[in-house]
Amino acid sequence: MSTNIHPPAGKLGYRISELVGTSGISRSTIYNEIKAGRLPVVKLGRSTIILASDARQWLESHRQPAKAG
């Protein structure tokens, strides 16, 4: 699974479908993390936006050290 999120210049946030495509994380995992309050969102009308900085911070919080050997 790739966890590198490199937004195009000027891109501030992602729709859920964009984050799924960019991160490789399943849609259901993203919705579960939002529901649990671990992944903050911005609601604009019917759109749910995840700020690029929040997505990056959330992914970094799940980083695990590499296993030796």
The answer to the question of residue 41 being in a domain is yes
Instruction: Count up the domains in the chain and report the number.
Output: 1
Residue 20 — pLDDT band, cuts 50, 70, 90? very high
- The answer as to whether 49 is a domain residue is yes
pTM (2 d.p.): 0.77
What's the CATH number where 27 sits? 1.10.10
User: Does 8 map to a domain?
Assistant: no
List pLDDT tens digits, range 39-60. 999 999 999 999 999 999 999 9
Domain span including residue 36? 13-60
Mean pLDDT of 17-31: 94
- Residue 67 within a domain: no
Instruction: Tell me if 36 is assigned to some domain.
Output: yes
For residue 7, CA distances in Å to 35, 48, 63, 65, 67 come to: 24, 17, 19, 25, 29
